[in-house]
Amino acid sequence: MAIVKADAYGHGAVTVAETVLAAGARWLGVATIPEGIELREVGIKAPILILGAVNAPEEIQAIAHWQLQPTLCNPFQALVFSETLAAVGKSIPVHLKLDTGMSRLGTAWQEAAEFARLVERSPHLEIASVYSHLATADSPDPRIMNQQHQRFRQAIGQLSAAGITPPKLHIANSAATLSDPSLHYDLVRVGLALYGLYPAAHLQPVLSLKPVMQVKARVTQIKEIAAGTGVSYGYQYIAPRDMKLAVVGIGYADGVPRNLSSKMQVLIRGKLVPQVGAITMDQLMLDVSAIDDLQIGELVTLLGQDGDIEISADDWATMLGTISWEILCSFRHRLPRVTRASSASSACSCPEGLGML
């Protein structure tokens, strides 16, 4: 199951979904009904699991209409689904979520059999899978993950004792997929790893991943400033010497975190260049004093590889004290998504000054 929620972690849900299905994925996972509808509207017919909780009757009707597959998290939700579907005369496959230690969505694993029996009694609900989610699969210490796995196994035993055999069982996210084959069951839900990033550094030896996303923009203006000149809002940066500045057409409204101001570097012609001053809504400034004969319109790589140097979402996440998932999901829709079968070319077809993913 390829997880393409949050616009495929900022990469473009439709393009990613079509690509992964062509490459062999059988299922898609999204968080919300609109995310599922977006895929159905372009003709994608693969089964789509809604990972988030749904409770409103109009949402349930939309799920049935668009042939999406919901997650049921508790008996009350199952009853609402059953009543709503009975009123419209429709039946749908559903996926039962068990809480084995995440303390988020799901029925307590100890109540798995009771929950499943309730769903089985509804003529409008068909159990398609039983699943859970791991809280610490990215930790080098497997003890909590193993505890959750043991609870999941016990829940499966309860179901078996009750004569219930779900068509599918699943618990593995990207980290669990990479770290422990015993967690694979009938399908694995691959998210971050699908986009070429590791859920944790200790998983890097398992296989080689290459980040899919590159973020690029263009130089829109070049100017000389004297030592002592303030740069950008609040004069958070004062030029320590005469320098050459380049303005680049991308900012925090596009997803470049403002907290990276005067901390981040970008790549121009394969060289690291420091960003200076406060990152603004639509633009940021670079100290390009070391780049000879820089031209307006030249390409700037914020994330990605240029020459022998690569800047990754992990680099930004480390500077900000966050995780790469948040970085990827932050890039806004006004950035054009340019898709390539190969990254061999570094040409950019985006309009001058406009950022691109």
Catalytic positions, please? 5, 233
Q: Kind of pairing, strands 107-108 and 92-99?
A: parallel
Query: Are 194 and 20 spatial neighbours (Cβ–Cβ below 8 Å)?
Result: yes
Q: How far is CA 49 from CA 52, 136, 162, in A?
A: 9, 22, 25
Q: Closest Cα partner for 4 from 39, 29, 25, 41?
A: 29
Strands (E), 84-160: 92-99, 107-108, 125-131
3-state SS, residue 107: strand
Q: 256-284 burial by CB neighbour count: b if 16+ within 10 A, else e?
A: bbeebbbebbbbbeeeebbbbbbbbebbb
Q: Kind of pairing, strands 237-238 and 271-276?
A: unpaired
- Bridge partners for 299 per DSSP: 218
* Residues 6 or more apart whose Cβ sits within 8 Å of residue 199: 137, 138, 173, 174, 175, 178, 192, 193
CA quadruple 348, 350, 353, 357: dihedral sign: negative
Distance (Å, whole) CA 275 – CA 319: 14
3-state SS, residue 175: helix
